[in-house]
Amino acid sequence: MGAGEVSICARVKGQEGALLQVQGLGKRYGARIGCADVSFDLWPGEVLGIVGESGSGKSTLLSCLAGHLRPDAGRVMFRTDQGMRDTVAMAEPERRRLARTDWAFVHQHARDGLRMGVSAGGNVGERLMAVGARNYGAIRGAALDWLQRVEIAADRIDDRPSAFSGGMQQRLQIARNLVTGPRLVFMDEPTGGLDVSVQARLLDLLRGLVREMGLSVIIVTHDLAVVRLLADRLMVMKSGRVVEQGLTDQVLDDPQHGYTQLLVSSVLQV
């Protein structure tokens, strides 16, 4: 089954509708455009890839979606138990609660997403505690299970991430983010800055977890191989705007916009 078919299945299986609806999102830094007029829907179980050259607005967009940056324009409607809610207009404490319970954010640099002074098990366990878990044995058991799922040996549970390799740190960051079963996962260049062989292993692992957990993901990357492997759908950004979007295979195999054609033929340095 291709990546695209997974999301179609999720939709056909009677999911209630879009998980996220983004309308006219924009962010400026003074006179400079971070992103502008971005609109799209994300369906449950769908992986959306965002690609574009450096400075095209990928991280700005992701930060606005995840509530790390306040957009100047537009709405980000997220499906909650109370129906679709605009997370931009939401009070800060409520948005923080959503970020803790429903969302996860995997940073490019593991140190931004881990607590380096806390053990590997603690890094995973404290996320469970943040959503209400209190039983020490159950928390440690879940942490151990997740370390194994991301291929970190059980006897490293009490080691700090600073003693881990870059690839291990990134796998630990993924465990910390996925242990609570988030409904929406944001990833900003999760394989960036790693050696090619380490990237391949991480990508394999991510692909397995995405499929197994049916995760809804928005992933930013400059690496078309990453989106080819992971993303059902692709959005191409240039100068803060979306210039093309569609099913990943369609966009990569038959790009319509001149800029996407350059990206795909690797003429642009991304």
What minimum distance in Å lies between the beta carbon of 50 and ligand ATP?
8
Q: Of the listed pieces 18-26, 42-50, 54-62, 242-250, which binds Mg ion according to CB under 5 A?
A: 54-62
**Residue found under tokens 């988030």:** 182
The Cα–Cα gap between 163 and 153 comes to 13
**Residue found under tokens 């954010």:** 105
The Cα–Cα gap between 5 and 8 comes to 5
The Cα–Cα gap between 22 and 224 comes to 23
Q: Is 59 one of the binding residues for Mg ion (CB under 5 A)?
A: yes
From the list Mg ion, ligand ATP, none, pick the one residue 121 interacts with, judged by a Cβ distance below 5 to 8 Å according to partner type: none
Please pick, from the candidates 26, 57, 121, 161, the single residue that binds ligand ATP as defined by CB under 6 A.
Answer: 57
From the list Mg ion, ligand ATP, none, pick the one residue 29 interacts with, judged by a Cβ distance below 5 to 8 Å according to partner type: ligand ATP
Q: Of the listed pieces 55-63, 111-119, 165-173, 224-232, which binds ligand ATP according to CB under 6 A?
A: 55-63
The Cα–Cα gap between 128 and 253 comes to 42
Q: Of the listed pieces 49-57, 84-92, 165-173, 249-257, which binds ligand ATP according to CB under 6 A?
A: 49-57
Q: Is 34 one of the binding residues for ligand ATP (CB under 6 A)?
A: yes
**Residue found under tokens 């630990």:** 172
Q: Is 56 one of the binding residues for ligand ATP (CB under 6 A)?
A: yes
- Which residues from 204-233 bind ligand ATP, rule CB under 6 A? 222
DSSP letter, residue 134: -
**Residue found under tokens 């995840």:** 66
Helix (H, G, I), strand (E, B) or coil at 181: coil
Q: Of the listed pieces 35-43, 51-59, 126-134, 231-239, which binds Mg ion according to CB under 5 A?
A: 51-59
Tokens of 156: 């490293």
Q: Which residues on adjacent β-strands are paired with residue 27?
A: 35
Residues in contact with ligand ATP by CB under 6 A are: 29, 32, 34, 52, 54-60, 222
Residues in contact with Mg ion by CB under 5 A are: 59
